[in-house]
Amino acid sequence: MSNKLIVSLSPHEKGELSVEKVMWGVVIALMPSFAISVYTFGFDAIKVVLLSVVFCIGIEFLIQKFMLKSEVTILDGSAAITGILLAFNVPSNIPWWQLLAGSVVAIGISKMAFGGLGKNPFNPALVGRAFMLASFPVEMTTWPVPFSNIWSPATDAITAATPLGRLAEGGVKALGAMTDPAVEAVDYIDIFIGKVGGSLGEISAAAILIGGIYMLFKKIITWHIPVFYLLSLAGFSGLLWIIDPSKYADPLFHLIAGGAMLGAWFMATDLVTSPMSVKGQIIFAVFGGLLCGAIRIYGSYPEGCSYSILIMNAFVPLIDKYSKPKRFGKEVNYG
Amino acid sequence: MKLKTFKLGGVHPPENKMTADIPVVPIDIPKRVSVIMSQHLGVPAVPVVDRGDKVKVGTLIGEAKGFISANIHSPVSGTVFKVDGVTDATGYRKNAVIINVEGDEWEEKIDKSDTLLKEIKLSSEEIIQRIKDSGIVGMGGAAFPTHVKYMFPEGKTADTLVINGVECEPYLTSDHRVMLERPDEILVGVSIMMKAGKVDRAKIGIESNKPDAIKILSEKAEDYPGVEVVPLKVQYPQGAEKQLIKALLNREIPSGKLPLDVGCIVNNIGTALAIYEAVQKNKPLIERVVTLTGKGLKKGGNFLVRIGIPAKNLLEKLGEEIPENTGKMISGGPMMGKAINHLDIPVTKGTSGIVLMSEEESKRNKIQNCIRCSKCVSVCPMGLEPYLLEKLAEKDMFEECEKEDIVDCIECGSCSFTCPSSRQLLDHIRYGKQNVMRIMRERRQQ
């Protein structure tokens, strides 16, 4: 027997879960979307994702090692997630230095400046994306046509409009609704499986769903945030569609087009920046979905998903304060 | 059929019930035993014997003092060596009667036979008095004096007796063995308790990982009117009385109240056996079943141990030494038990088991930042927010702790168990809770 026994307080048993398992689990869940993006955009997709991950991990390493002189925790997987998500939010032909700038903002300002893992109030990848969209509006909205010269990098960008872009530009007619057969109709199946233009990771709703279900299965996330976010978005857009289908797109389109799926499953569910109680998570998701619909339909940007989540991130402390879980033995009247 | 359980929170730690199939064997009485005077919650008993006094098995050696206290009887026959301090599982020195053993002579009034006595001759009041005289305490671990639960305050009545056969702590199998080996005595004990509490129904909750115990007790319970065995889904901390009552009866004990406030009396399965022996056989609480287990042992075991025998004698009985790589020794289960630093501590009325853990299992993981995953919130069986209580307690913000209901914490440890960042949430919550309770006491005194 070793002469040193540990005498600590209970519990003496510890669970299986660890930060690494949670974070790398999310990375695995992002892989189907990555595969689709490589299939659609080819070499550029690999380049952008790899660069973004290397930038994010590298910046976290430099900050921890040389600025904070603290323990280096780059292998916990959280910087890798930020890197992948940031890459998923940009077009595949984004210049590398713009991606680097986005990574510095995402990791340096949005995460490390607040104290690192677990301390950031806003989703780092979304802050990075918001910064890039404001700073490089042209590059951030120039979408390469899917399947064009995918294995020969650095071809001239031939741009394709995203489904949401077409909606914002030309109204519901631009989607090729029944009313206007002259316009090539948007094929919902194509949007669902990802044969459309758009940011790297958002194009395939199907791949995102597979990743989301994997996270549910692994108990990394619960179903409340994605389901309520999407329901709320569908409900809001559906209500307007019922009122005037010639002016507003139908709710199914809103669900599968653009970043709503990616946002609902991977951004809004970010553990650090979402509320703690189930009640709070539902409030967070419902308002997030409403905001997303409102920005898409009434705002000047075609896509509102990322902003809706960032705005709701700001409300999380307030939501946490006022949405306590139901306590055992309070509000009971027995005997 | 969907099994009953409690709805809010809960975890499922690895069960590791390796000793479930090993029958109970008695431990030989050593040359000397140390009987601690505070084996129960409440005021320690006062020694009524002194150096040189002769005692028999069952002789009163410590007298209850105050309302919440319990008598202590000699578990052996012999001569009192001295009354002195002995370290117990808490690590503090406690007053104890140390007895040099001579033979094994029992008090004449105790019926040592094995005959099952079914007929209950005593009245309700006499039963409660006998429970009190015999020094019966809760055998689940907390060791709350049992007679207190049957002395209802004015205007309070109970309608259900809840018997805890859950044994939700990993590793421990003492209750399980008792249910398998002494089912008749337990059921007569339950009937006695029903009479004492003036209730006409009893529910015995047993988790579904003990199908043999469920089977034998349900079959036998058919002969005992009003007694029902309820299989429960395996979930920790189902053995906590609030969670058990919720699971069995769907009644929720209001914050700060007791089981009696929802018409329940809750007792452990081992307590039912002790009450049977006290009432039918006039045998005070002088022995109990203790599990000794751990992955490092070749074979663990379940033992019938006289109170006061050092825990190391269990290991000797197995013919084993403390395994080389032992990193932690626990009195009780791994979720709520106390870590001890030697095996000389004497077995008490509340010792349900001794668990040896390897160094690897004993080490706490490195603490990382909270990632706000809300796992602690979702597993808390009391609906508290452990992550928040941890932060508030760490910063000595006791007023806020009180507002966030820190005193409702039952210290089950589900939050610390589940935390992916290995944060020691319960350490901080205990600190906060103790301070809040102190502040509340001071406020009441003013």
The mean pLDDT of B181-210, rounded to a whole number, is 95
Classify domain B287-362 at the CATH class level.
alpha beta
pLDDT of residue A173: 66
pLDDT of residue A179: 45
- A330 interfaces chain B, CB cutoff of 8 Å: yes
Inspect the interface and report whether the beta carbons of B328 and A22 lie closer than 8 Å: no
The answer on pLDDT for B153 being more than 60 is: yes
Percent of chain B with pLDDT over 90: 90
Inspect the interface and report whether the beta carbons of A7 and B340 lie closer than 8 Å: yes
Contact map slice: B 275-314 vs A, CB within 8 A:
none
Q: Using an 8 Å CB-CB cutoff, list chain B residues near A268.
A: none
pTM to 2 decimals?
0.90
Q: Using an 8 Å CB-CB cutoff, list chain A residues near B321.
A: 1
- A28 interfaces chain B, CB cutoff of 8 Å: no
The answer on pLDDT for B412 being more than 70 is: yes
The ipTM of this complex is 0.87
Q: Could you read off the pLDDT of A121-159 as tens digits, one per residue?
A: 999 999 999 999 999 988 888 877 777 655 554 444 455
Closest by Cα among B251, B211, B212, B254 to B234: B211
- A181 interfaces chain B, CB cutoff of 8 Å: no
Measured distance CA(A172)–CA(B141) in Å, rounded: 69
pLDDT of residue B88: 87
Inspect the interface and report whether the beta carbons of B382 and A8 lie closer than 8 Å: no
Domain with CATH 3.10.20.600 in chain B: 287-362
Counting one residue from chain A and one from chain B, the pairs whose CB atoms sit within 8 A come to 178
Closest by Cα among A303, A305, A297 to A163: A303
pLDDT of residue A333: 61
The answer on pLDDT for B209 being more than 90 is: yes
Residues 6+ apart with CB under 8 A from A318: none
The answer on pLDDT for B83 being more than 70 is: yes
The mean pLDDT of A220-236, rounded to a whole number, is 95
Name the residue of chain B whose CA is nearest to A20's CA.
B420
Name the residue of chain A whose CA is nearest to B413's CA.
A11
Instruction: Locate the domains of chain A by residue range.
Output: 19-140, 163-319
pLDDT of residue A155: 47
The mean pLDDT of B368-394, rounded to a whole number, is 95
Task: Confirm if B345 and B331 have CB atoms less than 8 A apart.
Answer: yes
Mean pLDDT of chain B: 94
Domain with CATH 3.40.50.11540 in chain B: 136-281
Inspect the interface and report whether the beta carbons of A11 and B321 lie closer than 8 Å: no
Query: What does the block give as tokens for B288?
Result: 């109990």
Please tell me the least confidently modeled range out of A147-151, A187-191, B134-138. Answer: A147-151
The SS3 assignment for B303 reads strand
Q: Which residue has the higher pLDDT, A198 or B370?
A: B370
Q: Could you read off the pLDDT of B271-284 as tens digits, one per residue?
A: 999 999 999 999 99
A185 band by pLDDT with thresholds 50, 70 and 90:
low
Inspect the interface and report whether the beta carbons of A10 and B336 lie closer than 8 Å: yes
Looking from the CA of B237 toward its CB, the CA atoms found within 13 Å total 22
CATH architecture for segment(s) B136-281:
3-Layer(aba) Sandwich (3.40)
pLDDT of residue A195: 74
Domain with CATH 2.40.50 in chain B: 30-100
Which among B324, B331, B417 is the top mutation candidate for probing chain A, defined by the most A β-carbons within 10 Å of its own β-carbon? B417
- A11 interfaces chain B, CB cutoff of 8 Å: yes
Name the residue of chain B whose CA is nearest to A333's CA.
B254
Looking from the CA of B53 toward its CB, the CA atoms found within 13 Å total 17
Please tell me the least confidently modeled range out of B64-68, B94-98, B402-406. Answer: B64-68
Q: Using an 8 Å CB-CB cutoff, list chain B residues near A271.
A: 371-374
Q: Could you read off the pLDDT of A207-220 as tens digits, one per residue?
A: 999 999 999 999 89
Classify domain B30-100 at the CATH class level.
mainly beta
pLDDT of residue B266: 96
pLDDT of residue B142: 83
Measured distance CA(B203)–CA(A235) in Å, rounded: 48
Contact map slice: A 159-178 vs B, CB within 8 A:
none
Q: Could you read off the pLDDT of A85-116 as tens digits, one per residue?
A: 999 999 988 999 999 999 999 999 999 999 99
CA dihedral over B374, B378, B381, B382, signed as positive or negative: positive
Q: Using an 8 Å CB-CB cutoff, list chain A residues near B357.
A: 12
